[in-house]
A and B are shown apart, each in its own frame.
Chain A
Amino acid sequence: MPDTLTPVLTDMWDVDRAWTLPAYEAKGGYQSLDKAFAMKQDDVIAAVKDSGLRGRGGAGFPTGMKWSFIPQDNPRPKYLVVNADESEPGTCKDIPLMMGNPHVLVEGVIVSSYAIRANKAFIYIRGEVLHVIRRVQAAVAEAYAAGHLGTNIHGSGYDLDVVVHAGAGAYICGEETALLEGLEGRRGQPRLRPPFPAVAGLYASPTVINNVESIASVPSIITNGAKWFASMGTEKSKGFGIFSLSGHVQKPGQYEAPLGITLRELLDLAGGIREGHDLKFWTPGGSSTPLLTAEHLDVPLDFEGVGAAGSMLGTRALQIFDETVCVVRAVLRWTEFYKHESCGKCTPCREGTWWLVQTLARLEKGQGTEADLDLLLDQCDNILGRSFCALGDGATSPISSSIQYFRDEYLAHLTHGGCPFDPARSTVFGSASTVEVSA
């Protein structure tokens, strides 16, 4: 039975000058390279498959299987693209990981590129995180200078170049095919699949796109073995992951634990809900994963457990809201976000998110009728499964789940003629703030 918390990726974060090569190498960094280069590429892929590593960007697709989809008989160059566009509301793990331990990502990029036989890799980082971009740029430069990147790495005959690419502000670029469009210098709008990126991705060449945390987990799998990784986690959700607690908890922050830990356990570690308040609702993996409530405190936070509870593990972005928070206000704000970030390519999402905001905003002001709840669910029904990509689907999650659990609160806005909550009570600086209470 592994320990409650299992720092691997976060283990560097309290080290002096953790982002530098000497600090990383002093902790055993870049050891996986020689081990990987001594293996056949397919054996590296098999090790990642055996470990049970599943994508850490939200979808949970088995990483090794994704790699094995690259057609090696295709004569075109192969590419690895790291999705470092972390933008899902509530998600805040890749950014501190790249700031505190950028070299583990670079090491993972090298091993992963070797496995899929790519000689060029890209790290696509959202543009709004300047210092994180500095740290990754510097780590790549240090890795070149030390011979971990470039030609004939460690005398293996293997060559790899890495480009750090800054995005420019678009949530949709977290969607892997939209990210490729951005990386090709175009508007970030998703592509039709098939063909999947493994067959025709960047420049129509075979491409693997993986999340930062997935790639950063690879060096430890190669160094310590697939069985070591699989000794953590649950039957179908192996290994460790960073759980991000935010909102109304005593100690918000990053907690790296085996998959399958529960919110009750995490809240114990984080000192509980803020003093004098109770848990009302939470997201297990960002705003696109349906809301859960206090009745779900003991759900194992793995792919299967959260799925069985009617939501998704997503990015383990646990946003915690106490009883002072109006769920209608929270959901309206997320919906405004989806409307703003909808890329405009497909009608259900472009028009649908606009209508969702209209309907929700009216309800929030207490101006709608009870029939608007059915209207909202009907609108969701016309978006979910009918949109071009998962952005539209995600937009419906907070709405349908909040109506499921908090229907009465929507109705209270109608009887109250507006929001019955005082937003000042939810803030960290208390009710003596300058917030105007609308009533």
Chain B
Amino acid sequence: MKNQSLDDKTLNELREIAGRYPEKRSGLLPMLHLVQSAQGKVTPEAIEACADILDISAAEVSGVATFYTMYKRHAVGDFHVGVCTNTLCAVMGGDAIFDRLKEHLDIGNDEVAEQRQGDQYSVSLEHVECNAACDYAPVVMVNWEFMDNQTPEGAVQMVEALRAGHDVRSTRGPRLCTWREAERVLAGFPDGRVDEGPAAGPASLAGLALARENGWKAPDVAAVPAVEAPKEGQADA
């Protein structure tokens, strides 16, 4: 099942991705996301397929697939858990979360935990670099969705809920989808979950809330000193 060969639908979609760009090779990064969605990793067959479509060598595709960390040459879990252990998250608790998850899942970095009897889904674990959510530290990503302000115990409960097949929501996003479904969105095929979750999480709103409280705003255009309305385009050193 997991290594089923690329079907015609996928091959057509690969060509469709290449067609979005003035030069088709530009499609390679999203194409590799799509093959991961179809096959769960970047397989030799997928490398050949991309090379064929783009008229480049398999070695050139391999060179790209091995450069970027999101491309996997071995299968990951249905839910791929990334714990930020860059400095700020590490200090705020990321190291403790990563240690706790390794111990709980009995795996090391970049490994898949055993799918126990009764588990609906598998889980894999990796430490990730800064994911641009430092105001929510410590941060855990699951299939590249934000799980903000985590604790070691909370992270353990989360992975157990995922294994059991319960719905888990991103703290600032939708109900989590599987890793393969996520990869499809990254390839440029939307999944209809865009309207789930808030516009912004609480930390994002910290400054705005203060501004609202104090009536702080950007200046009124009419109140800009010296002139009533600036004339664009007129240099005024």
Contacts and interface: CB of A to CB of B under 8 A. Distances in A.
Whether chain B is bound by chain A comes out as yes
B87 A334 contact: yes
Interface in B127-175: 128-138, 141, 143-146, 149, 151-152, 170, 172-174
A147 B219 CA distance: 31
B1 interface: no
B199 A12 contact: yes
Interface residues of B, number: 99
B200 A14 contact: yes
Interface string B49-84: 000001000000001100111110000000000100
A163 B21 contact: yes
Nearest to A15: B199
B54 A185 contact: yes
Interface centre among B85, B145, B199, B214, by most A CB within 10 Å? Answer: B199
A14 B100 CA distance: 35
Interface string B198-237: 0111111111111110111111010011110110111110
Contacts of B143: 130
Interface size class on chain A is 35 or more
A15 B212 CA distance: 12
B136 to A, nearest CB: 8
A6 B218 contact: yes
B114 to A, nearest CB: 22
A166 B186 contact: yes
Contacts of B137: 246-247, 252, 428
Nearest to A325: B91
Interface stretch (A41-49, A304-312, A382-390): A41-49
A296 interface: no
Contacts of A53: none
A255 interface: yes
A128 B147 CA distance: 13
B194 A137 contact: yes
Interface stretch (A218-226, A347-355, A362-370, A409-417): A218-226
Interface string A314-358: 000101010001000111011001001101000000000000000
B200 A330 contact: no
B134 A244 contact: yes
B87 A330 contact: yes
A253 interface: yes
Closest 6 CB pairs of A and B: A253-B206, A43-B233, A185-B28, A225-B230, A255-B207, A168-B68
Interface of B: 20-23, 25-30, 32-33, 54, 63-64, 67-71, 82, 85-88, 90-93, 95-96, 99-100, 128-138, 141, 143-146, 149, 151-152, 170, 172-174, 182, 185-188, 190-191, 193-195, 197, 199-212, 214-219, 221, 224-227, 229-230, 232-236
11 contacts: A3-B211, A5-B210, A13-B199, A50-B230, A50-B234, A100-B204, A130-B173, A131-B173, A166-B186, A245-B206, A433-B152
